[in-house]
Chains A and B, each alone.
Chain A
């Protein structure tokens, strides 16, 4: 039951993009087509989960016992950067079809603040390993949900006549604001 609440909270109530403002660059940058949005979303789910699990272990077994907690940021970003590189090489060698669909998004993910953000939130909330994994999968899907919905809206908006100054990013941001307002209704449901 606790895990259920955690999942609902991570996807809807504290949606990683729309309520916590994380991962906005890829959210605006890769939401022009739904196909790209789904690819990017899956890549984030995959990498964020692995990164959160590994950084949890790094923090627990490496940093905390040696009193090096202040190195958290630098250790985490290095873990994420090498993890992304490793995943890329692994997919290329072992599962080429998956690499073909996700490969182009992987280099982007190193600087996606959602991934580092999820890892740090898990530390700050002092989740256990299983909670960390559940939370990061749910957050990743929350990101994917927001991204795919926005991509769908933006595909429709391409056909609409809008003032030239609003075209592109400004309109996408205002749409994101309206989506965020819709998600705002979940506030207080589960915390």
Chain B
């Protein structure tokens, strides 16, 4: 039980996917124009991530090591097709808002990275806990970033007016440049928080996590080789 909680909770803070592991940046930048879009994207990712972790973990003894990446891609792609069809049926406006980023969930490093780094080596219950934790961490991060951008860019939060009439919307935040700058500042904030914590323990300040493709576990391995 303890172990289950450990695997679940690491995605919520210690290994928070977009901010601590710096993975899957495209959807983080693209769909966080509003909090609602970020939240919707997060739900789609939870669905795909938890189920792909489960399937990969169930199949881990059947999949030959040489073609494992190709197999992971097929599993992820089938789940993404499910999500696409479900969203078209039940959440069509959101599907249109997210546009091309729904099919692109399949190339999100988090999905393949967790399959390769965790699910293919661990039993099913731990893999599902890991997938859910990471997925929820991803959703919370996207909603957080979306809230900042929506609040400053439109003066609303989940489409509710929260800023008074005096507020002049800061359009920069909802356009592409704002996405990059906002994510950069949030990452810097996370780093300085980590450094503040380290300082209170008497440790030296460190540089923040570097985006490294190696963290997604793909680079060292040739897909389908």
Q: Which B residues are in CB contact (< 8 Å) with A173?
A: 180-181, 183-184, 187
**Pair A166/B212 contact, Cβ less than 8 Å:** no
Q: Is the interface of A mostly helix, strand, loop or mixed?
A: helix
Does A101 have its Cβ within 8 Å of any Cβ on chain B?
no
| Stretch of B6-14, B50-58, B72-80, B135-143 with 4 or more beta carbons under 8 angstroms from chain A | B72-80
The residue of chain B having its C-beta at the shortest distance from the C-beta of A180 within the complex is B177
**Contact for B218 among A30, A71, A82, A108, CB less than 8 A:** A108
A181 located at the interface, meaning its Cβ lies under 8 Å from any Cβ of chain B in the complex: yes
- Chain A residue numbers with a CB within 8 Å of B22 are 28, 169
Q: Are the C-beta atoms of A21 and B103 separated by less than 8 Å?
A: no
Known: A70-B84, A70-B85, A81-B223. A171 touches B26 (CB 8 A): no
Task: Kindly provide the distance from the CB of B203 to the nearest chain A CB, expressed in whole angstroms.
Answer: 13
> Are A110 and B223 within 8 A (Cβ)?
yes
Query: Judging by beta carbons under 8 Å apart, are A73 and B103 in contact?
Result: yes
State in angstroms the CA–CA spacing of A113 and B107 once bound together: 6
Q: A167 to B81: give the CA distance in the assembly, Å.
A: 39
Q: Return chain B residues, CB-CB under 8 Å to A84.
A: 223
Residues of B within 8 Å of A120, CB to CB, are 100, 103-104
**Does residue B122 face the partner (Cβ distance < 8 Å to A)?**
no
Q: Is B176 an interface residue (CB 8 A)?
A: yes
Residues of B contacting A73 with CB < 8 Å? Answer: 77, 80-81, 84, 103, 106
| Complex Cα–Cα for A164 and B70 (A) | 39
User: Are A111 and B218 in contact, CB atoms less than 8 angstroms apart?
Assistant: yes
A184 beta carbon closer than 8 Å to chain B: yes
Determine the chain B residues whose CB is within 8 A of the CB of A170 once the complex forms: 184-185, 187-188, 191, 208
Q: Is the CB of A177 within 8 A of B179?
A: yes
Flag if B221 contacts A107 (CB, 8 Å): yes
Q: Is B225 an interface residue (CB 8 A)?
A: yes
A29 touching B211 by the CB < 8 A rule?
yes
Is B16 part of the contact surface with A, judged by Cβ < 8 Å? no
Q: How far is the CB of A183 from chain B (nearest CB, A)?
A: 8
Contacts of B85 in A (CB 8 A): 70
Q: Please list 13 pairs of residues, one from A and one from B, whose beta carbons are closer than 8 Å in the complex, sorted by A's number.
A: A25-B24, A29-B213, A74-B74, A74-B80, A81-B223, A81-B224, A85-B222, A111-B223, A116-B103, A164-B207, A169-B211, A170-B185, A180-B176
Given A70-B81, A165-B205, 14 more A-B residue pairs with CB atoms under 8 Å apart are: A24-B29, A25-B213, A70-B84, A73-B106, A74-B78, A88-B222, A110-B73, A111-B107, A113-B107, A164-B195, A165-B191, A169-B211, A170-B187, A170-B191
